[in-house]
Structures are given as C-alpha cells and as structure tokens.
C-alpha cells in the first residue's frame, strides 16, 4: 500500500481506545480519521486524546469518500445492524469478536460480502499472538509429529465484579457467561491450530457469589475432523491466565501469558512462557523459546487495512468468526443435554435454514 488506508471507528469506549493506541503513530498501513459515538462527551474525549475527528452521526462518517473501512467496537447486539449500514455504504467492515450477538446475525454479516462486494474482518486477535504463531509453525513443520491432543484455558476474575448494570450479567446478552466471553477466543485458536472441528461436549456451573444470570465456570471437549481431541476450560472467578498446550508424538509445546498485559500486547513477550519438550526425558529435554515482541491488535487492524486495499478477505474471516460462535452454540446445547456431544455442522445448517441463507 502506497498510502495508509483511512478508516472510521464506531463506539468510542475502552476497547476503541485500546485499538487506536495500537496503531496511532505506530502503523504506516492505516489511519483512523473519524469516530462516532452517540455520546458527545465520548466524541470530545476521543478527539482530545487521539486527534480523531468526532462526527455527529453515522451518515456523516459513512458519506466520507476517504474512509474505506469502518471499525465497530460496539456492544454485540449492535454488530449486525451497524455492519449492514457500513456494507450498504460500500465500506469494508471490521467487527470485534464475537462476529455478532447470535449466529444467525453472524451469518447475515458474512453474507454482506457477496451482497455488497465488501470484506468482513473479525477481531479474533488471540490467534495472532507471537507464541501462538510459533506453535503453528512447529506443527506445520512436523516438529511435534502427529498432534493428538490440545488444551487451552482462558480465565479471569471478572464474574466477581459483575453488577446488574453490566450487559455481561444477562444470559441473553452474554450467552454462557465466560463461554461466550472467554472460551470463544480459545475455540478460534484451537480451530486455527487443529483444523476443522466436528463436535463439542460441555458442562458448566455458576459459582460467583454476585448473583448474575450467567454461568461462570466452563469445561469443553472438542473433537477435530482428523480424530484428535481438544479441551478448553475457563474459570471466571480466578486470577487471569491465557494458556495453550499442544501434544504430539514427537513433542509438546506450552504457551502462557500474563493476562495483566492483555490490553498492552506489545508487552506480552516480557511476561510469557513458551517451551517445547521433546523425547522421553521430560524436563531435561525442555527448551525455552524466546517470544519476540508483537502486537496482536495492530496486526489484526493491519490485516483489515490489507483487505480494504485489496478487496480480498484475510485470515480473520467472517467464516472463522461464525465457526467460533457455532462452537459456543454447540457447547450451550450440549450443556442443556447434560454433556451430550453436539455437531458443529448441525448448528450451522440449522441456523442457515432458519435465516434463509
């Protein structure tokens, strides 16, 4: 790209600031030039902090011919209607994960690509962490041998902080609690590392004393198309951790970060662990692997800029985003069926039929 792709951003809260900090003055591939929030105070604050022009309404942002893509950092239930508005205006869409509040809306967002000739990028940034990419490289080179099992955990204490004033308190807005808020990240990571997923079997519990509607503990077993198994666990009442472990015939790899640096991913490498363990000598054969500095948020927005410039979807596709939501829906149905395995393809097919897609 000879010049930065100009973008707008909608929803100017905490996460909009995290993403804007990741690229402001740090990326030559994109520039955020306009922002919209219904709150005048938020528009003024955002403009003061980042120098991004606050506009009074969506139409002003979408009518700007210089803007080629729009970043949506709004509550989940607003993803679909705003994505449709952006696509109708001929702009490319970036939406935070999950792709939408429901799988039906996510599939409708995916359909916008063909309908309006735009691309959709979904912010599943966890797969872009340097440690995750290194594990993927080792798998692809065959250094772990045949991979048979994967496990992942994403936990933090935020269910202890929920109040009725927060949207995550409610089942309808945060299905499964930490299942849709945390496990969905790891569903996408294991999908990327392990390939197509056929079914999910899950159980959950509610142990936080605050009284929220949502569950806050989750255990999920997934089966891949090639027969290997995976496990994703999450506690929403525990100090934060994000970890992934992959087991192969020739070795295993483990990656773990300090969740406290999640919002500042350029610092993750300073407090992370990555190692490979080969052969049968256990600890003696464990090799630490240096984790290079990276920034998953800048990387995902630069992927979005590339899609805006080329008109072609990147790695963070609407399809991958919908697979992650379908895995959540399969897990929720499995919980209702006392842990019975539920096929992801059935969830996708039923939802497409219901949506008329």
> Across the beta sheet with 286-288, what order do the strands follow?
286-288, 272-278, 251-257, 241-248, 147-155, 229-235, 217-224, 197-205, 342-343
**% of residues, the chain, pLDDT over 70:** 99
Report the chain's mean pLDDT, rounded to a whole number. Answer: 95
Q: Which residue has the tokens 């990571």?
A: 189
DSSP 280: T
Dump pLDDT digits (tens) for 286-345.
Answer: 899 999 999 999 999 999 999 999 999 999 999 999 999 999 999 999 999 999 999 999
DSSP strand pairing (272-278 vs 251-257):
antiparallel
Contact between 172 and 210 under an 8 Å Cβ cutoff? The reply is: no
Q: Whole-prediction pTM value? A: 0.95
Dump pLDDT digits (tens) for 275-296.
Answer: 999 877 766 678 999 999 999 9
Under 8 Å CB-to-CB from 229, ≥6 apart: which residues?
148, 149, 150, 221, 222, 223
Helix (H, G, I), strand (E, B) or coil at 193: helix
DSSP 170: S
Contact between 299 and 126 under an 8 Å Cβ cutoff? The reply is: no
Rounded Cα–Cα distance for residues 125 and 101 (Å): 18
pLDDT of 123: 97
Q: How confident is the model at residue 226 (pLDDT cuts 50, 70, 90)?
A: very high
pLDDT of 264: 87
Under 8 Å CB-to-CB from 138, ≥6 apart: which residues?
144, 253, 276
Dump pLDDT digits (tens) for 107-146.
Answer: 999 999 999 999 999 999 999 999 999 999 999 999 999 9
């Amino acid at each position: 790209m000879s010049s930065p792709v100009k973008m707008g951003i909608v929803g100017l809260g905490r996460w909009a600031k995290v993403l804007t900090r990741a690229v402001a003055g740090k990326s030559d591939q994109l520039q955020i030039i306009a922002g919209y929030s219904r709150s005048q105070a938020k528009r003024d604050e955002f403009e003061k902090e980042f120098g991004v022009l606050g506009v009074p309404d969506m139409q002003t942002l979408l009518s700007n011919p210089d803007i080629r893509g729009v970043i949506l950092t709004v509550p989940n239930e607003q993803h679909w209607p705003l994505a449709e508005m952006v696509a109708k205006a001929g702009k490319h869409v970036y939406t935070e994960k999950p792709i939408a509040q429901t799988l039906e809306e996510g599939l409708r967002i995916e359909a916008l690509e063909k309908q309006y000739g735009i691309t959709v990028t979904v912010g599943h940034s966890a797969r872009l962490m340097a440690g995750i990419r290194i594990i993927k490289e080792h798998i692809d080179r065959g250094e772990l041998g045949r991979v048979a099992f994967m496990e992942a955990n994403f936990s933090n204490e935020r269910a202890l902080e929920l109040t009725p004033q927060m949207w995550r308190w409610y089942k309808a807005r945060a299905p499964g609690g930490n299942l849709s808020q945390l496990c969905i990240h790891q569903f996408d990571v294991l999908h990327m590392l392990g390939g197509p997923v056929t079914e999910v079997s899950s159980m959950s519990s509610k142990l936080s004393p605050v009284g929220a509607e949502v569950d806050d503990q989750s255990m999920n077993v997934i089966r891949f198309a090639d027969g290997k198994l995976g496990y994703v666990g999450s506690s929403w009442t525990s100090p934060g951790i994000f970890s992934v472990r992959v087991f192969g015939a020739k070795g295993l790899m483990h990656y773990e970060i300090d969740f406290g640096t999640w919002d500042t991913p350029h610092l993750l490498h300073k407090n992370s662990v990555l190692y490979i363990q080969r052969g049968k000598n256990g600890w003696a054969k464990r090799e630490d692997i240096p984790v290079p500095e990276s920034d998953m948020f800048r990387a995902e927005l630069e992927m979005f800029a590339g899609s805006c410039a080329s008109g072609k979807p990147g790695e963070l596709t609407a399809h991958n985003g919908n697979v992650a939501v379908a895995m959540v829906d399969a897990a929720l149905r499995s919980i209702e069926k006392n842990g019975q395995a539920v096929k992801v393809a059935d969830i996708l097919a039923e939802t497409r039929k219901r949506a008329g897609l």
